Chains A and B, each alone.
Chain A
Amino acid sequence: MWRRFKYSRLIIFFLTLILIFSTSCKNNLYTTKGLYMGTFLIVSIDNEHKNVINKINEEIIRIEEKFSRFKEESLVYKINNEKGSWIDVDDEFLYVLKTSLYLNKISNGAFNPLIGDIVNEYGFYDGNYKVPDENTLKGLLKNIDIKNIEIDEKNKKIKIENGSLDFGGIVKGYAVDKIREILIENSVKESVINLGGNILVWGDRKFKIGVKNPRGDGIIYTFELNGNSTVSTSGDYENFFIKDNKRYHHIINPENGKPAESGLIEVSIVSESGIIGDGLSTTLFILGKEKGKELIKNNFPNTTVLFVDEELNMELIK
């Protein structure tokens, strides 16, 4: 009967092609989910490198233990609770701090790592929500001048006189960058990392990343990305409360100590650098569309930005 198959090689060739096509479409990655750094972590990784997940989890725990505001053993906790004292830090801490200060500089203060006390005053850390009165805000605003941060680079020490550090606007992006280092070290072929909405796509194919609809379920936009890209998003829906029909969200404008009202309700950044992307999504949310575009044009011309305004109008710049 085999003689009937005149074109057997051709059949085998096409069957093989179909097989390869169908399996490649399925994009088979092993996925784990967990809660870390006060948020969730979804790791999808090619089956060959499942063992790398443990290293990723350990790295996230390590970063959390250094940069958390709430863990008593963390450097941030120590610095915030021993104001006026020089605290020993390390190169990694200085890198994150200096990146924050760089974003502060190029945004004319819109990104501020000393905003912690004001965020706390609204109850965004513990859920005891309240609207601070003007006098309280005025007092706290005096403390967030970044001149309150003193750095002794030579001896790797820092001191803050007032205000309290909060790296929440930058550290998840930094963690994503560190995860990328692990993927490289372990020769991981394909992976998608999602740390609290900060995403890293890794691999030799096109990836599709959705951006959450800020006013409902589902997504509002889809980015098509090459491997080795990160996506960071900031929105007024992440942590908020409603009082007297007004939405108070957690992204505070350091100019007045109030939730930013720039006309934007969501900003997404596509960047090669996780730490910059994460910091920029917060910064541009506070600055608004026009100032945000200017900042991108002058400093990060290769960055893609999606702006979503209160009417859910979208504008993409790249």
Chain B
Amino acid sequence: MKKYDKILLLSLIPFFIFSIFYFNINSDKKYLTIINREGEKNYSLLENKIVNVKGDLGDLKVEINNGKARVIESNCKEKLCIKRGWISIIGEYSACLPNDVFIIINGRSEIDGISE
């Protein structure tokens, strides 16, 4: 083995280990992202809870239960965010436009997007 082969091999190994590690820990992990005017916040979908979210018209309540999420309370007129029901798979989303609030399941997925 020549000197440059060694250098190349040594430099590749950390990348190799990192890529395998990174790929494994990120696959099949999903989490909820809630976006409002204040910014973006991530929540685990493993812990069942109710999250209060500040909207333009008032607070919304988002329920996380059993790996799924949904808006359960909003003071918007349309209530489309509530009618939307559960979102569960990576890329699925629900929006409350009057409140400027958007929730989406994030993570690595085979699916590049969801049309609706």
Contacts and interface: CB of A to CB of B under 8 A. Distances in A.
A235 B116 contact: yes
A216 B84 CA distance: 8
Interface in B68-106: 68, 76-80, 83-89, 91-93, 95, 97-98, 100, 102, 104
Interface in A237-280: 237-240, 268
Contact of B78 (A2, A18, A197, A239): A239
A219 B89 contact: yes
22 contacts: A2-B1, A2-B6, A5-B9, A11-B9, A15-B12, A15-B16, A18-B16, A18-B19, A19-B15, A19-B19, A22-B19, A33-B104, A35-B102, A127-B79, A197-B115, A199-B113, A201-B112, A207-B112, A212-B92, A212-B115, A216-B86, A222-B111
A300 B38 CA distance: 45
Nearest to A225: B112
Nearest to A218: B89
Contact of B113 (A22, A25, A192, A268): A192
Interface of B: 1, 5-6, 8-9, 12-13, 15-16, 19-20, 22-23, 26, 33, 35, 40, 68, 76-80, 83-89, 91-93, 95, 97-98, 100, 102, 104, 108, 110-116
Contact of B1 (A5, A35, A207, A209): A5
Given A216-B85, A217-B88, A40 B114 contact: no
A232 B114 CA distance: 10
A216 B76 CA distance: 22
A34 B97 CA distance: 11
A231 B85 CA distance: 23
B115 A233 contact: yes
A3 interface: yes
B95 A40 contact: yes
A127 B57 CA distance: 14
Contacts of A2: 1, 6
Contacts of B113: 42, 44, 192, 194, 199, 201, 207, 209-210, 231
Nearest to B77: A127
B100 to A, nearest CB: 6
Interface residues of A, number: 53
Nearest to A190: B112
Given A12-B5, A235-B116, A208 B110 contact: yes
A217 B80 contact: no
A222 B113 CA distance: 10
A209 B26 contact: no
A62 to B, nearest CB: 20
Given A44-B112, A212-B92, A212-B115, 9 more contacts: A8-B1, A23-B19, A33-B33, A33-B102, A128-B77, A209-B111, A237-B83, A239-B78, A240-B83
Among B5, B77, B78, B115, the one with the most A-chain Cβ atoms within 10 Å of its Cβ is B115
Among A11, A126, A217, A222, the one with the most B-chain Cβ atoms within 10 Å of its Cβ is A217
Contacts of B20: 18, 22
